[in-house]
Amino acid sequence: MACDETVYDESNVMSERHMERRGIMIVLSSPSGAGKTTLTRGLLADNPDIAMSVSATTRSPRPGEVDGIDYFFINKDRFSEMRDADQFLEHARVFDNYYGTPSEPVFGALEQGRDVLFDIDWQGAQQLTEAASDDLIKIFILPPTLRELEKRLRSRAQDSDETIAKRMSKSEAEISHWAEYDYVIVNENVEAAQAKLQTIINAERLKRKRQPWTSRFVKDLIDGA
């Protein structure tokens, strides 16, 4: 069951009801440091009905990152084990580390009609497109300038100079995939970017195919029920 929606019920009144639909997969990609995590946190705070896909990674935790919340921090052997057992919906090597989306929690949330948010790179987005393009919306986040991108990576103060240099050197390659996405948002101002993200999600939820109750509503409307 999905989020609360106003739906047409059998007693011919509009009422607050749950409606049946599968959840939407919402992918956010960007060059490192453009603001995916920041926007994701804001979006989840305003939309507790959205589930966050927690990835597994072989990267070491940054200060403050919590296992099971920010990532499942696992070693390479465990990652290979999970990959070989087909437990990832998608996986990729990014900046010398391995990242993957555990399938089970995603399928569970979607079946309950919950929308699921993914913070993954373009390789993961491509794999999800092959697996489930109908229930997928892909949003690319751009920084206002590359100089600002580097400033953000530095201001985050969680990566070494070497790591930041590596991420900056890959930023143009990541950005080159922008046209594979359904939507593009320039994250200059966090509040404005978050509002755009919310607008996209609201509009996608209102698509006719995602409101299965409308057929019955229109039939009853015409029949004068």
Ligand X SMILES: Nc1ncnc2c1ncn2[C@@H]1O[C@H](COP(=O)(O)OP(=O)(O)OP(=O)(O)O)[C@@H](O)[C@H]1O
CB of 205 to ligand LQESDW3C, least distance (A): 23
Query: Which region, judged by CB under 6 A, interacts with ligand LQESDW3C, from 10-18, 41-49, 98-106, 190-198?
Result: 98-106
Closer Cβ to ligand X, 23 or 33, answer by number:
33
Q: Rule CB under 6 A: which of 97-156 touch ligand X?
A: 152, 155-156
Q: How far apart are CA 175 and CA 137, in angstroms?
A: 18
Assess 169 for contact with ligand X (CB under 6 A): no
The residue assigned the tokens 């997928």 is 136
CB of 79 to ligand LQESDW3C, least distance (A): 11
Number of residues that bind ligand X (CB under 6 A): 15
Assess 35 for contact with ligand LQESDW3C (CB under 6 A): no
Q: Are 119 and 40 in contact (CB under 8 A)?
A: yes
Query: Which region, judged by CB under 6 A, interacts with ligand LQESDW3C, from 42-50, 113-121, 143-151, 191-199?
Result: 113-121
Q: Which does 58 bind (CB under 5 to 8 A by kind): ligand LQESDW3C, ligand X, none?
A: none
Q: Under the rule (CB under 6 A), what is the footprint of ligand LQESDW3C?
A: 32, 36, 55, 59, 90, 92, 94-95, 99-101, 119-121, 123-124
Annotated binding site for ATP: 30-37
